Amino acid sequence: MKDKIVLIVGGSGGIGSATAKRIAKEGAKVILAARNKLKAEEVAKHINDSGGEAFAIQVDATNQNSVANMAQEIEENLGKIDVLINAFGKGIIKPFMDIDPKDAKEIIDVNVYGTFLVTQTVMKHMNTDEPTNVVFFPGTMGKYVMKNASVYSASKFAIQGFVKALIEEQRRGKTKYSLFYLGGVDTAFWDDDRVDMKVKKEMMLTPEEVAEAVYYGVNQPSGSVMNEVVIQPESHQLV
């Protein structure tokens, strides 16, 4: 990973920031893209103070101009991107009839359209001379179903379908695509009022555990790819 250019969209906290710190230890140049640039700058400072190399940039994953400007700025200042990690997203866990349609639209816009937009745009600015990686986090709700997760599961199943179709389309290319189906991870996701679940965070995966798995996935030898992996907390319990 040394000197590889790694873009983490959603890099200001949780899985994104933990992954940035882990990959930066291997000598990669890490770009933390997020709506909240101040938080991304805090993570970048931590990495830089620890001897790594990191940069923060503001982006709205659902805004075409914002995403295009981000990708262009990275290429102009640092070079072609080697790894894209889509670590952003929003959630809603509520009974179907209680979901505000505005909230449903926001979830679909961010999780589905945002993932499509970021991936398509950034791929135009990726290294074409060496193997590259694109990482997605559909979560276990993108593989299994659970009550009160109708909209959230719909958005995550969409990511699975999108990526699997993309793999078929790009099979002869040099880009490796990885889907991480994660169980409960101890992040700010659970603090959103729209996530109506009682959870025990101490029984969840930590962002650092996920980061280790992501690093392993993007650091596979050139002849192999980790397309899909399911990672659950040892307890398998969320409530």
Domains assigned to the chain: 5-231 (3.40.50.720)
239: CB partners within 8 A, 6+ apart: 197, 198, 199, 200
Coil vs helix vs strand at 117:
helix
pLDDT digits (tens, 9 = 90+) for 187-211: 666 666 677 667 777 778 899 999 9
pLDDT digits (tens, 9 = 90+) for 102-120: 999 999 999 999 999 999 9
| CA atoms of 93 and 85, how far apart (whole Å) | 24
Assess contact for 71 and 124: CB atoms under 8 A.
Answer: yes
Catalytic residue among 152, 177, 181, 216: 152
* Residue 152 annotated to the active site: yes
Widest pairwise Cα distance in the chain? 50
pLDDT in tens, the chain (239 residues): 899 999 999 999 899 999 999 999 999 999 999 999 999 999 999 999 999 999 999 999 999 999 999 999 999 999 999 999 999 999 888 999 999 999 999 999 999 999 999 999 999 999 999 999 999 999 888 988 889 999 999 999 999 999 999 999 998 889 999 999 998 877 666 666 677 667 777 778 899 999 999 999 999 988 899 999 998 887 764 44
Number of C-beta neighbours around residue 73 at 10 A:
15
